[in-house]
Structure 1
């Protein structure tokens, strides 16, 4: 109930006013049954505008840090992210990463619409970064379609690092469902998994118009890799 109240009453009207969302390709999202919405990730607002324009409820895998705060603020964050359709996952080690993938598979087997950010974190500079293979593993093991989604302009409405929201124009562009059934029986092959996620990232690049960087965004943020310089 709270999910729909936030979407249509408490937050939705304000989000519409701020972002004036334009939607393209919504017909590619199935009315029922499991599917993965694979989106680029520019800002926190992505997780608000994507559910706002899709009729069905979307479940996202969210960082466990959102659910571990203390005091009144921690309680409110846990409550809010839970009613907003977020499921906490721990990504600190290999075992926890596998548990996150198991959670994703369970949600899809329940027929849900799963939102995933293959970059793993928000883009540090608005460019599109290398995708992680977790999405490919889930897609190959479940056989569900992957629908690429380009979020455009959310970083203007909700600039990363800022608590202020601004007026802008958000575009949510859905691509055609991607079918990877040609790789049936090859799940677990890291070369196939890399090929699958690279194919998804190419579609996101095409839909969003972003410059692609063949590095992980998380490594850039942590200083493990120098940011790529455009030629």
Structure 2
């Protein structure tokens, strides 16, 4: 029994080391293959190596968006990932062993992810969230869920909005446009759903403009 536990422990350590190697390798492949061009639009954020934790939100156009965000914001960050994707046998071997992954059940009421995210922020790590909850590749945005607003408001952590062009192909430099760091005002007690919805709508419009800029389109176009 002791030998079996030793073998399992050794296996887990080797797998975790392998996952770390994969993460670093993927990051360099992304930088070489897609050559992301990062544009900053405000003096409050001038580097992706953030000096203090933030809630980082972005539009979700392509399944490669999470990898790109992890590659761009490489230091001291975690990312919220759908629980059903973590449990998918194609990805579970890596996602369950990646220390930066925060599971979230997007089909049921789930508050555990917010507690984990809060602990990550307290440790000095930023948290990456896709408020749409799923990809949308028709040029529009899904309605933003309010979880990111609740997390930012309850922790006093600033929100950094990111617009991605969602284009990943050889010969094209993936455009990443990073906006200002903005705080959501704290209120006494539990914030009302109306307050969180208003904040979510505000940041949805903001990310729409950043996404349009990443695509080289007019930012004056109104978010539908």
Q: TM exceeds 0.5?
A: yes
Counterpart contact for 2:153–2:183, Cα < 8 Å: no
**How many Å separate the matches in 2 of 1:201 and 1:28?**
22
Aligned pair in 2 of structure 1 residues 204, 3: CA closer, same or farther (>3 Å)? Answer: farther
Gaps of 5+ in 1: 158-164, 214-231
Counterpart contact for 1:150–1:174, Cα < 8 Å: yes
Tell me the secondary structure at the aligned position of residue 106 of structure 2.
coil
**How many Å separate the matches in 2 of 1:126 and 1:84?**
32
Residue 80 of structure 1: how far off its partner (Å): 1.7
**How many Å separate the matches in 1 of 2:137 and 2:99?**
25
Among 126, 133, 146, which residue is 1:133 paired with?
A: 146
Residue 31 of structure 1: how far off its partner (Å): 3.0
Aligned to 1:54: 73
Q: Does 1:175 align with 2:179?
A: yes
Aligned to 1:203: 206
Counterpart contact for 1:19–1:167, Cα < 8 Å: yes
**How many Å separate the matches in 2 of 1:43 and 1:203?**
19
Residue 186 of structure 1: how far off its partner (Å): 6.0
**How many Å separate the matches in 2 of 1:144 and 1:212?**
26
**How many Å separate the matches in 1 of 2:19 and 2:175?**
22
Residue 37 of structure 1: how far off its partner (Å): 0.4
Residue 24 of structure 1: how far off its partner (Å): 1.2
Q: TM-score, normalised by structure 2?
A: 0.76
**How many Å separate the matches in 2 of 1:20 and 1:38?**
21
Larger Rg: 2
Aligned pair in 2 of structure 1 residues 150, 2: CA closer, same or farther (>3 Å)? Answer: farther
**How many Å separate the matches in 2 of 1:195 and 1:208?**
20
Among 43, 61, 66, which residue is 1:42 paired with?
A: 61
Residue 85 of structure 1: how far off its partner (Å): 2.3
Counterpart contact for 2:58–2:129, Cα < 8 Å: yes
Q: Give the root-mean-square deviation of aligned CA atoms.
A: 2.5
Counterpart contact for 1:105–1:142, Cα < 8 Å: yes
Gaps of 5+ in 2: 1-16, 216-221
**How many Å separate the matches in 2 of 1:47 and 1:37?**
12
Q: TM-score, normalised by structure 1?
A: 0.74
